[in-house]
Amino acid sequence: MTAPDAASSQSSSDTPAGRTGWHIPAVLAMALGGFGIGTTEFVTMGLLPDVAQAMNVSEPTAGHAVSAYALGVVVGAPVIAAVCARMPRKRLLIALMVAFTVGNAASMLAPSFETLILARFVTGLPHGAYFGVASLAAATLAPAGQRAKAIAAVMLGLSAANVVGVPAATWLGQNLGWRDAYLVVAVIGLATVFAIAKFVPQLTGIRVTDPRTELGALRRSQVLLTLLVGAVGFGGMFAVYTYVTTTLTDVAGMPVGLVPLVLALFGLGMVAGNIVGGVLADRGVDGSVFAVLVAMIVILAGFVAAAHNPYTAGVGIFLVGACGSALSPGLQTRLMDVAHDAQTLAAALNHAALNIANAAGAWLGGVVIAAGLGYTAPAMVGAGLAVAGLLLFTITVLLARRGGGAGAAPGSSAA
């Protein structure tokens, strides 16, 4: 069990001096969970036409399965982070992955569209809390001076999912049936449960808090405003990506067999965006967020024209993935700066905000498609969301500089 003073009295196995390299398989075990989460989050988008046909609903209606998962993340992240604040972290990681596995198995077996929606909601519940706890665990297990590398290794699972997991699962779903894609993810989840149980030690080095302390982050206006920027500004990527399969086949004229390759390009864009976004954020958090939001506006607006050619559409999808992913490091760093002692909740809420963007982007994209505006219309919606995100972030920074935000100024050290 984790003691209340664990931050000051770590076991020898949780200190750098006591490590003999076992932290590497531990971090990789948690990254495997990130790989599974990333695969299930995005594979539904690539299989929307198949799900719509099988469930006898329209494609915009099938997009509600994407929104249901995202809403599960939004609900689960703060609730689990607060309610389970005192729970031993290794036990919590295992419990989260068990719930994730059950949710994917239920998605595979869903007999109706309504039950599929419920299953996707349940699957999303552990998402934000898992990444929040896994990031803190990786930082705790890493030797001195390598905390950022350990956190990046956990998040690499999410990026790798978009390069390998999503295209592979999409191909499998298109050729064998969409249910098999969720079966594969359930197997990954089960493998993660065993990997964490075997390789992750008792995480006594993570500071124990309580629900009141964690929920205190929600009283800080700068935390809430930064989350709102992510919830709005990040939506453009999902407005486009949710309906990418039909956009590529019907608008760009691309053969359906090439769609998984373009999805891999999107994943490579996310990997590149993570790297670039991290470099930019190290040079200046606020400046990086401003720059990425401006680039996102240009790229999403440009995708309206780029989508009409298979080659430019492929490049556009790469850039959409890169821009969206590049926004995350700056927002995450800023949240850590202003959240003080509510580190678990802040890390989890970042993913909740991005999944609000997921749900909103998917929904708004479906609205304009259903209105008959075509499959390029979601890109214009996305550009509008990026503009709104830029305006919100400008207001957020101005309030912080005038002392109007309840939190540390951007770039300050988290308590």
**Average model confidence (pLDDT) across the chain:** 81
The reported pLDDT for the residue numbered 17 is 37
Q: Which CATH superfamily is domain 217-410 in?
A: MFS general substrate transporter like domains (1.20.1250.20)
Report, as an integer, the average pLDDT of 30-50: 87
The reported pLDDT for the residue numbered 202 is 78
**Does the structure show a pLDDT above 60 at 196?**
yes
**Does the structure show a pLDDT above 90 at 165?**
no
Closest CA to 34 of 156, 194, 203, 142: 156
The reported pLDDT for the residue numbered 411 is 44
**Does the structure show a pLDDT above 80 at 129?**
yes
Across 20-24, 164-168, 374-378, least confident range: 20-24
- Provide the sign of the torsion angle of the four alpha carbons 265, 366, 124, 117, taken in this order: negative
**Does the structure show a pLDDT above 50 at 271?**
yes
Q: State the pLDDT confidence band at 400, using cuts at 50, 70 and 90.
A: confident
Q: State the pLDDT confidence band at 11, using cuts at 50, 70 and 90.
A: very low
If you compute the radius of gyration of the chain from its CA atoms, what whole number of angstroms results?
A: 20
- The verdict on pTM exceeding 0.75 is no
Tell me, yes or no, if the two domains 1-208 and 217-410 fold the same way: yes
CATH number of 1-208: 1.20.1250.20
Q: State the pLDDT confidence band at 148, using cuts at 50, 70 and 90.
A: low
The reported pLDDT for the residue numbered 206 is 62
The reported pLDDT for the residue numbered 12 is 37
Q: Model confidence over 60-82: pLDDT tens digits?
A: 888 888 888 888 888 888 888 77
Kindly list the domain boundaries of the chain, sorted by start residue: 1-208, 217-410
